[in-house]
Amino acid sequence: MRVANNRVVRQSVLLVAVGCAAWVYGKEPAGSGGEGATAADAPAPRISVETARDRARLLHGAYAATLDAMHHHYFQTNRSVLPARALEDVFADLSDQTQIEARWISVNTPAMSVHHEPRTEFEKKAAEMLGAGKPFHEQIEEESYLRAAPIPLGGGCISCHLGFSKAAGEKPRFAGLVIRVPISEGRRQP
């Protein structure tokens, strides 16, 4: 039953996320009654920095809302499928279709996976800025717009990130979500 429930959850979340990404990216999902082409069928079109910024902001909201809904409806401590881990599958599927990449980074709690440690200079700076309370951090590279924004960690999250015996204290705790969107305009300042 648990495996079936996990599959249904992943399929439901993926369907919502793919539909959102298809709308954001301007392509109709295959089998939607449209032309049937998906972003995976052709190279990713390059877009302006302003469009990339808007899409990254929208995708951040969609991923954060999906994570929150998964926590609320499906996360149970006695049979946990970590919602953040399930969303990594969504990130991978959407990246294959849109070339938009997303990944978690630790900000002001220990990383739950070595894969969530900030790796690049951008990610390290983003973790520092988000930990200091900045609402987002962005950077424009030659072919990409990068945006990192906080994901608030609630009570259920804190117990794992800090350990069951530790309290969060007064300080708000965050993870970060980094989104990389291909752009056409090359290097420009935000």
pLDDT surpasses 70 at 76 = no
Secondary structure of residue 9 in the 3-state scheme: helix
- Model confidence at 28, pLDDT cuts 50, 70, 90, reads very low
Residue 164 DSSP one-character state: T
> How many CB atoms are located within 10 Å of the residue 188 CB?
11
**What does the pLDDT read at residue 175?**
92
CB burial readout 164-183, b (16+ within 10 A) else e: eeeebeeeebbbbbbbbbbb
Q: Are 126 and 178 in contact (CB under 8 A)?
A: yes
- Long-range contacts for 48-51 (Cβ within 8 Å, ≥24 apart)? 48/183, 48/184, 48/185, 49/140, 49/145, 49/183, 49/185, 49/188, 49/190, 51/183
Per-residue model confidence as pLDDT tens digits over 145-173: 999 999 988 776 777 777 655 555 667 88
pTM of structure: 0.65
pLDDT of residue 70: 73
What would the mean pLDDT of 28-33 be, rounded to a whole number? 40
pLDDT of 77:
60
Which position has the higher pLDDT, 84 or 77? 84
Distances (CA, A) of 37 to 24, 26, 111, 162: 15, 11, 38, 45
The per-residue pLDDT for range 81-140, each reduced to its tens digit, is 677 777 888 888 788 878 899 999 999 988 888 899 999 999 999 999 999 999 999 999
The predicted pLDDT at position 75 comes to 61
Q: What is the pLDDT of residue 168?
A: 52
| Listed residue (34, 188, 17, 190) closest to 98, CA to CA | 17
Domains of the chain, residue spans: 2-182
pLDDT at 190: 52
* Cα Rg, the chain, nearest whole Å: 17
Is the pLDDT reported for residue 60 higher than 60? yes
Give the tens place of pLDDT for each residue, 2-15: 334 455 455 555 54
User: What does the CA dihedral 37, 40, 43, 45 come to, rounded to 10 degrees?
Assistant: 70
